[in-house]
A and B are shown apart, each in its own frame.
Chain A
Amino acid sequence: MSDSRTSIHVTDSAIVKRNLRSVPYVEIFGDRLMGVVSSKSDFRRMYISFVEAGTTSYNCSTNNNRPCGGLRGGPCKHIKSLLDEAVKQYGGERVARSLQLAGDPASIKRGADVLRHISGGKHQEKASAAFTRFLNYLRYVELPTSTAPTPEMTWFVNG
Chain B
Amino acid sequence: MFDALQAPPEGVTHAEALLDSLDACFLNGFARLGDAEAASLASLAKTFTGTPLAAPVAAAAEALAAGDYGITHFEALAAARGSLQGAIHDALVQQVRAALGRAAPEAAPAAAPAEPFPPQMAPLLESTQQWLMELALAGFGQLDYGTVVPFAATLEKLQAEPELTRLSVLLTGTLGEIAAALPIEDAAALPLSRWVDLWSRAMLGTLGAPASPGGEAFSGNVRILGAALNTHANAVSVTAWGVVEGDTPRMVRVSRTAWKVDQVFDAATWQALGDGDDPLMRAIGERRILRVSDATLLPSGDLVLEGAKVGESMAAFSWSEAAPAAAVGEALPGPVAAPADRHPVQIAEPVYLSELEATSARKGDQTVTVGGGSLPVAVDRMGYRGAHLNAALSNAACAFGLLRYDGGAWSFQPLALQTNIKGNKTVDFYNGDDAMASIKSAGSSNLGILRERASKILRAQS
Contacts and interface: CB of A to CB of B under 8 A. Distances in A.
Interface in B390-431: 406-408
Contact of B191 (A6, A15, A142): A6
Contacts of A20: 263, 446, 449-450
Contacts, number: 204
Given A149-B253, A158-B383, A138 B450 contact: yes
Nearest to B407: A6
A151 B335 CA distance: 12
A135 interface: yes
A29 B191 CA distance: 20
B256 interface: yes
A18 B453 CA distance: 16
A153 interface: yes
B399 to A, nearest CB: 19
Instruction: Give 8 nearest A-B pairs by CB, closest first.
Output: A153-B237, A6-B407, A152-B170, A156-B232, A30-B149, A138-B454, A153-B230, A143-B259
A104 interface: no
B345 interface: yes
Given A4-B193, A147-B306, A156-B235, A11 B180 contact: yes
B149 A29 contact: yes
Interface in A21-45: 21, 24, 28-31, 43-44
Interface string B167-187: 101100100110110010000
A4 B152 CA distance: 27
Interface stretch (B51-59, B112-120, B296-304, B349-357): B296-304
A148 B260 CA distance: 17
Given A149-B300, A152-B166, A157-B381, A141 B454 contact: yes
Interface SS, B side: helix
Nearest to B201: A152
A69 interface: no
A82 B110 CA distance: 53
Given A136-B156, A152-B166, A141 B380 contact: no
Given A3-B407, A24-B450, A29 B456 contact: no
Contacts of A152: 166-167, 169-170, 173, 201, 205
Given A29-B152, A151-B341, A159-B232, A145 B258 contact: yes
B460 interface: yes
A149 B254 CA distance: 8
Contacts of A154: 230, 345-346
Indicate the member of A12, A20, A100 with the most B CB atoms within 10 Å.
Answer: A20
A124 B338 CA distance: 52
A153 to B, nearest CB: 4
A11 B177 contact: yes
A9 B191 contact: yes
A154 B235 CA distance: 12
Given A8-B406, A145-B273, A154-B345, A135 B461 contact: yes
B176 to A, nearest CB: 8
Interface string B441-462: 0000011011101111110110
